[in-house]
Amino acid sequence: MERFTPRQKLWLEHDGRLVMSDYRVRLLELVAESGSLAHAATVLGLSYRRAWGKVKEIEANLGMPLVQSAIGGAGGGHTTLTPEGQELVRAYRRYQARLERAMAEAFEEELGGLTGPGQSVPRP
Which residues are near its own copies by CB under 8 A? Answer: 3-14, 19-20, 62-64, 83-84, 87-88, 91-92, 94-95, 98-99, 102-103, 106-107, 110-111, 113-114, 116-121, 123
Which CB sits closer to its own copies, 20 or 31?
Answer: 20
* String of DSSP letters for 23-87: HHHHHHHHHHHHS-HHHHHHHHT--HHHHHHHHHHHHHHHTS--EEEE--STT--EEEE-HHHHH
Which CB sits closer to its own copies, 48 or 107?
Answer: 107
Least distance between its own copies and beta carbon 74 (Å): 33
Least distance between its own copies and beta carbon 30 (Å): 19
Least distance between its own copies and beta carbon 75 (Å): 29
Which CB sits closer to its own copies, 13 or 50?
Answer: 13
Least distance between its own copies and beta carbon 36 (Å): 24
Which CB sits closer to its own copies, 13 or 33?
Answer: 13
**Which residues fall within 8 angstroms of residue 53, CB to CB, at 6 or more apart?**
none
**Which residues fall within 8 angstroms of residue 92, CB to CB, at 6 or more apart?**
20, 25
